[in-house]
Amino acid sequence: MDEYDIVVIGAGHAGCEAGLASARMGKKTLLLSINLESVAMMACNPSIGGTGKGHLVREIDALGGEMGLNIDKSFIQSKMLNTAKGPAVHSLRAQADKNLYHLEMKKTLEKQEGLDLKQGEVVDLIVEEGQIRGVILNTGSAYLAKAVILATGTFLRGKIFIGEWSFFSGPNGLSPSMDLAENLKKHGMKLRRFKTGTPARALGSSLRFDRMTEQKGDEVIVPFSFMNDDLKQEQVSCWLTYTNEATHQVIRDNFHRSALFGGQIEGVGPRYCPSIEDKVNRFSDKERHQTFIEPEGLTTDEMYIQGMSSSLPEDVQLAFYRTIPGLEEIKIVRPAYAIEYDCIDPLELKTNLEYRHIRNLFCAGQFNGSSGYEEAAAQGMMAGINAVMAINGNEPFILDRSEAYIGVLIDDLTTKGTNEPYRIMTSRAEYRLVLRQDNADLRLTEKGKSLGLVTEERYRRYCNKKEVVSQEIQRLEETYIKPGQAERLLEEKDSGSLKGRYSLADLLRRPQISYQDLEQLDPQRPILSRHAREQIEVQIKYEGYIGKQMQQIQRFRRMEEKKLPPDMDYSKIDGLRIEAWQKLNQLQPGSLGQASRISGVSPADINVLLIHLEKRKRKEKGKDNGTIEG
């Protein structure tokens, strides 16, 4: 019987990051997949990033993860979203060659020292005295382990629905994991059903792109990884078209044939990514819905019909797709479908993603009730890190809400829970002006280095950028110009005139002036990387706002620093409402801050806890002084 430090079950986006993190931290790791063709598979949209999600990818990269590097190798179009808004919500999104993304990630896994990638289906866990000891495969073979990470994605009792037809399957027709789900229940795990879906794929040669609006990538390609300064790639176009009343009528006429409305589907779907029949039903006042046509790669003619997931029968799909401009002669090569799967209630997890009832069993990705490749990868990396920390007997590695979107994601899941597939959004982050995608390296690279995940080359680049940014900001603050020197620039930019001496930093604080604009006034300035230039401009322009947010973060951290004892019996604290002590006993929050975010715990309950902690502190102080307090 082979023995590993860590076994990862599932090689999707969560499993890949978990396996790489644990191996890079020096642990002998086994990464198991039902089918090696599903390694880092893009079962749904062929893209990485997007609003909020791009922040997660940058944070994974800053910590020493792989997703950002991998999409930089395999993208076919790149676009920065929300550029008309402030930098807090700028989010990078890249279309991928989905097969190349899979192949590049698989190659990385195969080359990783200390990591074994194997095809095999886990059907049971070995648990002894409340602690994980290993896994059992359907072949009868077993692997012992000190820690195990469950990253099963949508494979756990996966069931596909296409109209009245349904069958057990993993995504994309791969085999589901049936026995493991039943055995997890035997180990006391409470599972529930969630649902997601994917639209049809069509042959590009059957589409009329002249009837659609072309969507090109950005002229200047911004890399996801901080290890890349510039990327060169001939980009492909995406295309935009819209549904119409004829589309909606076909769908309405066939509501009764949808698995969603017919009652066959019991799982809860994502509110923020509804199927087209759900959109037509819920938003009946909308005359049209966007439909993006996205290439799936450079070596295939398949196109992804973004925004049109469905569980309607194939004949209905064909009928409503053909009412859309440009899709009148569409040839569908893969029909849209809905997929149901088993997952855990994330409230059953600690903040380090360890399952509360089996020691050293960690969970990550869609199994935790989230949706999306990026959310999965972020959790996978954190589960891998914390599995290593647990084996080593170290304190868990936790990112709080003020440090990273990863912290927001995991805190939301493990403290607030979710009743639908969870999706990260910039609006979920209270401190998003500080948690920008452009400064993820400045926030997290030091942490990745302390974990042993950041390479010397990455750390050198980080230190250089940090020093260069600091020096250049100081130089701009100390370099002054006379009013006449900037007159031409201010006229061009329709910015007000100067009175008296102004520093270059003062000029840059004006919304109309960019760092690039200052070049004509400052020809001696140093040559800097794109990452550094961006950071300098944001830090100077938003200095006041960032300062205010840092004050808010200090208040937040004071609450986080008020630690709550583990295994406290909250039912014995006078003044707590029944719902509050029940929730507190269930979740055992680590701090007063976390307790305040639990659903059902009111501000009055927090005040009761504050008083209790103060009394406890005084009592312990009295014992230390040899006095007795009443």
List of residues 6+ apart from 31 with CB closer than 8 A? 8, 11, 15, 16, 18, 19, 109, 115, 116, 117, 118
Please work out, in degrees rounded to the nearest 5, the angle formed at the alpha carbon of residue 276 by the alpha carbons of 274 and 282. Answer: 65
Q: What is the reported pLDDT for 630? A: 35
Residue with tokens 């403290």: 415
Strand, coil or helix: 86: coil
Which one, of 5, 31, 105, lies nearest residue 373 by Cα?
Answer: 105
Q: Which domains does the chain have, with CATH numbers?
A: 2-193+343-450 (3.50.50.60), 201-339 (2.40.30.260), 471-552 (1.10.10.1800), 562-624 (1.10.150.570)
Residue 346 is predicted with a pLDDT of 97
Residue 297's nearest CA partner among 58, 17, 39, 41 is 41
Q: What are the residues whose beta carbons fall under 8 Å from the beta carbon of 444, sequence distance 6 or more?
A: 59, 62, 63, 399, 403, 404
DSSP 435: S
Amino acid at 33: S
Cβ(339)–Cβ(366) below 8 Å: no
- The single-letter code of the amino acid at 369 is G
386 to 137, 382, 392: CA distances (angstroms): 24, 6, 10
Distance between CA 355 and CA 336 in Å, rounded?
34
Q: Which of 13, 167, 55 lies closest to 440, judged by CA?
A: 55
Position of tokens 């406890």?
Answer: 616
Query: How much is the CA Rg of the chain, to the nearest whole Å?
Result: 26
Taking CA 568 as the corner, what is the angle to CA 567 and CA 570, rounded to the nearest 5 degrees? 135
Angle at 241 between CA 424 and CA 297, to 5 degrees: 65
Distance separating alpha carbons of residues 195 and 200, to the nearest angstrom: 17
Give whole-number Cα distances, 188 to 121, 183, 264, 327, 342, in Å: 21, 9, 27, 49, 14
The CA–CA distances, whole Å, from 402 to 385, 422, 556 equal 20, 20, 8
Q: Which of 266, 269, 251, 300 is nearest to 99 (CA)?
A: 300
281: Cα separation from own chain's centroid: 29
Average pLDDT, the chain: 93
C-alpha span between 396 and 387 (Å, rounded): 9
Write down the residue that tokens 């639990």 correspond to: 598
138, 220, 259, 387, 589 from 8: Cα distances, Å: 16, 38, 33, 10, 27
For 36-56, give one letter per residue: b (16+ CB within 10 A) or e. Answer: bebbbbbbbbbbbbbbbbbbb
> Under a CB-based contact definition with an 8 Å cutoff, are residues 72 and 321 in contact?
no
3-state secondary structure 106-136: HHHHHHCCCEEEEECCEEEEEEECCEEEEEE
What pLDDT was estimated at residue 629? 41
In the structure encoding, which two tokens stand for residue 370, read together? 């989230």
CA distance 532 to 439: 10
Pairing state of beta strands 131-137 and 122-128? antiparallel
CA distance 303 to 324: 15
pLDDT on residue 268? 82
d(CA 204, CA 201): 9
Helical ranges in 159-204 per DSSP H: 179-186
Which positions of the chain have pLDDT values less than 70? 622-630
Q: Kindly give the pairing relationship between strand 2-9 and strand 142-150.
A: parallel
Position of tokens 């102080």? Answer: 621
Structure tokens at 14: 């969560």
Handedness of CA 222, 226, 229, 231 (dihedral sign): negative
CA distance 403 to 408: 9
User: Which tokens belong to 303?
Assistant: 């196109």
Task: Measure the CA–CA gap between 573 and 230, rounded to whole angstroms.
Answer: 58
Q: What gap in Å lies between CA 202 and CA 182, rounded to an integer?
A: 36
pTM comes to 0.94
Q: What is the pLDDT of residue 628?
A: 41
- Alpha helices per DSSP H over 164-271: 179-186, 245-253, 259-262
Instruction: Give burial (CB, 10 Å; 0-12/13-18/19+) of 432.
Output: buried
Q: What is the pLDDT of residues 422-451, one digit of tens each?
A: 999 999 999 999 999 999 999 999 999 999
